[in-house]
Amino acid sequence: QVRLVESGGGSVQTGGSLRLSCAVSGNPYCRGWFRQAPGEKREGVAYITRRGSTGYGESVKGRFTISQDNAESTLYLQMNSLKPEDTAMYFCAANTGGFCQLDATVFAYWGQGTQVTVSL
């Protein structure tokens, strides 16, 4: 059984940093972060496989870093140089299949979300 619990959201000013965490159980192959702003579609932010391969959305490349601890039980998203357009609810997601990409339909398991707000 895969279970995901996010933490670490909050409010920060433009240019600031936040680190999101997601407690992962069930050892899924693919783990990712998505975000959704009010009235917008869910957007893929980053993914990482159990082997450590990563992928990023174009809007966050060079600013965000996805990682996991050695036991693969905690997923992280380090967010630097935050902008107001990064404001959204951030979701941790996972998939047990052997395929990983930034497409929400690939992911079967979702956390409850954590809010990130970036002010001017």
Q: 10 Å Cβ neighbour count for 28?
A: 24
| Rounded alpha-carbon distances, angstroms, from residue 40 to 36, 60, 75, 87, 102 | 6, 17, 25, 11, 16
Chain segment 95-118, per-residue pLDDT in tens: 988 789 999 999 999 999 999 999
The angle formed by the CA atoms of residues 94, 95 and 101, to the nearest 5 degrees, is 90
pLDDT at site 87: 98
The mean predicted confidence, pLDDT, of the chain is 95
pLDDT at 23 over 80: yes
Q: Is 119 exposed, middle or buried (0-12, 13-18, 19+ CB in 10 A)?
A: exposed
Angstrom distance (rounded) from CA 57 to CA 66: 11
Chain segment 34-84, per-residue pLDDT in tens: 999 999 999 999 999 988 999 999 999 999 999 999 787 999 999 999 999
